[in-house]
Amino acid sequence: MNVNVQDLRKLYGNQAVLDGVQFAVRPGECFGIIGPNGSGKSTLLKMLSGVERADSGHVHLNGVDIAKMKTKQIARKIAVLLQEALSPVDYSVRDVIEMGRYPHQNWWGIDDTECTSLIADISYKLCLEHLLHRAVSTLSGGERQRVAIAKAMAQQPDLLLLDEPTTFLDIGYQMQMMDMVRNWQVEQGITVITVLHDLNLAAQYCDRILILNQGKQIALGTPAEVISDHLIESVYGTRPIILEHPVSALPQILLQPGALPLQ
């Protein structure tokens, strides 16, 4: 899916939380958004998913202004994974995956495609088959995050938005999560836009990265272009050491204690 963001601006009161953000995401791309706390990342994601309206500027999905789309139409195109995964509801895993079909169901709850085989397929891919009848509230955090991905897959979106999806996961589940998303992206050709806290994950998984600071667009480019020590220092206020990953040759950062320029 083509995502086109034009001169986006969002005010909370008189304060601009986003100002002059402008970029285009190509179909099938994995696009990362990074920036310090309060830089406007989450607000940007909310606007991309149609939760918040822009004060000026536009978000176009395949040429259609998102402000003109209904909630259900948006949900047929976009799935969103939030950082808090799923609340511990007592629905079965199967029921929750099936909830992803909601935007494709009509008033009476009848699906436009046959969803039984779709759900079987997804639960096979994500190794959820043995959990299908368990209540979500009895699952671990990592398993719950997998159910959330399964629900998003059942939604069959063209665009997947992720809001710091790895925040509450240990490194094993972080990699598992990002790998599952990448496999999905490659297999189905979907477009992925993800907000990430972890710059190393962003460098490894994203084709291009957008850096935001105080609502402004600071840099946009491939990981090798934007992960540089002076840029990171100017945005985050700490000077890291940048190394090349021995396998992928992508830039990775190491943190340096005491390297905080205190002015």
What is the rounded distance in angstroms from the CA atom of residue 173 to the CA atom of residue 227?
24
From candidates 11, 16, 82, 242, binder to another protein by CB under 8 A:
82
| Own/partner pairs, 21-27, CB within 8 angstroms, 24+ separation | 21/57, 21/212, 21/215, 21/216, 21/217, 22/57, 22/217, 23/210, 23/217, 23/220, 25/191, 25/193, 26/2, 26/191, 27/1, 27/2, 27/189, 27/191
Query: How does DSSP classify residue 100?
Result: T
Q: Which residues make Cβ contacts (< 8 Å) with residue 207, sequence separation at least 6?
A: 29, 30, 31, 222
Shortest approach of another protein to residue 80 CB, angstroms?
A: 4
Stretch that binds another protein, among 5-13, 90-98, 164-172, 209-217 (CB under 8 A): 90-98
Q: Are 177 and 143 in contact (CB under 8 A)?
A: no
Q: Which stretch binds another protein (CB under 8 A): 29-37, 87-95, 192-200, 212-220?
A: 87-95
Cβ closest to another protein, residue 106 vs residue 140: 106
> What mask, x for binding another protein by CB under 8 A, covers residues 120 to 159?
-----------------------------------x----
Q: Is 72 in the site for another protein (CB under 8 A)?
A: yes
Cβ–Cβ < 8 Å for 33, 18: no
Restricted to residues 160-189, the positions that interact with another protein (CB under 8 A) are none
Q: How far is the CB of 97 from another protein (least distance, A)?
A: 12
- Sole binder of another protein in the list 9, 58, 76, 125 (CB under 8 A): 76
Instruction: Name the residue nearer to another protein (CB basis): 90 or 114.
Output: 90
* Angle subtended at Cα 83 by Cα 82 and Cα 87, rounded to the nearest 5 degrees: 80
Of all helices (H) and strands (E), which one includes residue 20?
A: strand 15-25
Among 105, 167, 222, 228, binds another protein (CB under 8 A): 105
Residue 100 engages another protein in binding (rule: CB under 8 A): yes
Q: Does 79 bind another protein (CB under 8 A)?
A: yes
Q: How far apart are CA 127 and CA 3, in angstroms?
A: 31
Query: 237's torsion region: left (phi>0), alpha (psi -120 to 50) or beta?
Result: left
Q: Does 17 bind another protein (CB under 8 A)?
A: no
Q: For another protein, which stretch binds (CB under 8 A), given 106-114, 178-186, 219-227, 233-241?
A: 106-114
Residues of this chain that bind another protein (CB under 8 A): 49, 51, 70-76, 78-80, 82, 86-87, 89-91, 95-96, 99-100, 102-103, 105, 107-109, 155
